Chain A
Amino acid sequence: MSVSEMSHVIDQEELAIARAERFERIGKWALPAIVLIAVLVLWDRVVVWNGIPHYILPGPGLVLQTLIEDWATLFDSLMVTLKITLMALGVAVVGGVGLAVLFTQSRFVEMSFYPFAVILQVTPVVSIAPLIFIYVDSKLTALLLCAWLVAFFPILSNTTLGLNSTDHNLRDLYRIYGATRWQRLRFLQLPAALPYFLGGLRIAGGLSLIGAVVAEYVAGTGGIGSGLAFRILEAGYRLNIPRMFAALLLIAATGVLIFAATSLLSHLLLRKWHESAIKKEG
């Protein structure tokens, strides 16, 4: 058999692999879309066939209609929740990374404070939130504090892990070359911690949204009274179930958006060198 003939031979196994890859590519989007449509249709039919009143279970169409009709109100609330979420995430990043750096720079500080960071993390925020609302006058600050409490820990623990995960030979090399503490942090530990930090950020993004919503619930109608969670509570009291669903939809969409944004950020920052962002070659 000549070489040119050889190069056109694609065996059964290769074909099977190609088929599997095609299925993977299409299925990743098509399958969830099919499931979503099926559930929506089923939901709609269940409501219509059983004649369920909209104050018990609204159909998907009505939810969408409410979303559009109440858009002005809901959008304002979304902005309030989003603002608290993003501010909390920002403070969590600053606080988490700052504490992590402090911990790796001083073993003394780490030994003194790490246990309390864990205690803060494992105590449910719902149980701390009422106290926070008693002692903190500004509702905004209180909400922010609650969201931060939930969100900062994954960033702290991941970044600490990353800062301590530098290659020991590289650490030796830095020592041999007489690197200062600051140089080691700046050129070695921070870049090494970046993938870990970004992993923590993805978790913290979702958690800060949860923290913001939970805090709003606890603050209740006496709170600043305009976030999405407040809208859900308010709509619940008025038996405006379609609006509850519409607000819920917005919260879920926000969560997905935050996750997508942090994933994109992670990809952009790591694509050049980190294994997690590199597609298998060859």
Chain B
Amino acid sequence: MDGSAVITDPKTASAALLPLGQRPRLLEMSAVDKIFNGDVVALRGMSLSVHQGDFISLLGPSGCGKSTALRLIAGLMRPTSGAIRWEGGQQKGDLGVVFQEPTLMPWATVAQNVWLPFRLRGRSFSSVRDDVLWALKLVGLEKFQTAYPRELSGGMKMRASIARALVTQPRLILMDEPFAALDEITRHRLNNDLLELRDKLNCTVIFVTHSVFESVFLSDRIVVMAARPGRVSRELTVDAPYPRGEVFRTSAAYAELCRAASDALHGAMNEHGERDRA
């Protein structure tokens, strides 16, 4: 739909996820600087290749520019220098976004909220009802179509927000610490469910987090970032097969990967003799 023939239709069985290194390129960020007020360097020389099917975590302390990077990719700001290029050009509907807050419209029902990306493209509700239902089913909210956001728990609101990001089957999904404000148990469950969705849809995700565990569990690439100025410190590959579940979470490999990521994060925080530790 909408001419985005690049993605396989997830409603039918999707093509198997290609191994890292063989995936077609989706987006290229090259030597991007973002400077605020002339002297606050939010991001320096960030380069990142995003490939179809990548689950990339941007991991780092606050002030490392991970949210700035996300806003640049989302097109909410323009780089001071450098460039962000989409393979085949960027089109309306290429992006789905999930913020830290569920960011639902309180006056609209769950289904109406999920309809929004279509509505803004001039599509009537009846013409996309199937897509809305499909997205709600994916996140387990099909019984709450007519509920208002205030009637939902924090985790369910976040699910609705994820459904809205998925409904148009965008080429890239950006998630900005989506589970940071949730309790540990809900976050745990949503992490599992997110991976299940990813296995079903083979969607491409850039996920901002400050949790080492979350980044290791979810992603196949972890981009570790450092602060002052915000920049990429190093990149790790999480070499564990999907689907991942509780077995992976309790495995020795997971613990080892977490230690490696944690070391990388601390290394990043100590670069250039940083004074403060998070």
Please give the residue numbers on chain A whose beta carbons come within 8 Å of chain B beta carbons, in ascending order.
Answer: 167, 169-170, 172-179, 183, 187-188, 191-192, 194, 272-275, 278
Contact = CB atoms under 8 A, between A and B. Distances in A.
Interface stretch (B30-38, B114-122, B180-188, B238-246): B114-122
Contact of B74 (A176, A187, A188, A273): A176
A175 B76 contact: yes
A187 B97 contact: no
Nearest to A179: B120
Nearest to B71: A172
B101 interface: yes
B107 A177 contact: no
Shortest 8 CB-CB distances between A and B: which pairs?
A: A169-B103, A191-B107, A177-B120, A178-B92, A179-B120, A169-B99, A273-B106, A273-B107
A178 B90 CA distance: 12
Nearest to B118: A177
B9 to A, nearest CB: 21
Interface in B74-96: 74-76, 92-93, 95
Contacts of B105: 170, 187-188, 191
Contacts of A178: 92-93, 120-121
Given A169-B103, A194-B107, A273-B106, A177 B150 contact: no
A173 B97 contact: yes
B148 interface: yes
A275 B107 CA distance: 11
Contacts of A172: 71, 74, 76, 97, 99
A170 B92 CA distance: 17
B41 to A, nearest CB: 22
A183 B115 CA distance: 14
Given A170-B105, A178-B93, 18 more contacts: A167-B103, A169-B99, A170-B103, A172-B71, A173-B99, A173-B103, A173-B116, A175-B76, A176-B75, A176-B95, A191-B107, A191-B108, A273-B106, A273-B148, A273-B149, A274-B106, A274-B107, A275-B150
A273 B92 contact: no
Interface residues of B, number: 23
A183 B107 contact: no
A195 B119 CA distance: 23
Interface of B: 71, 74-76, 92-93, 95, 97, 99, 101, 103, 105-108, 116-117, 119-121, 148-150
A47 B25 CA distance: 93
23 contacts: A167-B101, A169-B99, A169-B101, A169-B103, A173-B103, A174-B120, A175-B76, A176-B74, A176-B75, A176-B95, A177-B93, A177-B117, A177-B121, A178-B93, A178-B121, A187-B120, A188-B105, A191-B105, A191-B108, A192-B107, A273-B148, A274-B107, A278-B150
A168 to B, nearest CB: 9
A187 B148 contact: no
A177 B116 contact: yes
Nearest to A167: B103
A47 B136 CA distance: 72
Contacts of B150: 273, 275, 278
A119 B149 CA distance: 41
Contacts of B101: 167, 169
A58 B149 CA distance: 57
B109 to A, nearest CB: 9
A274 B105 CA distance: 11
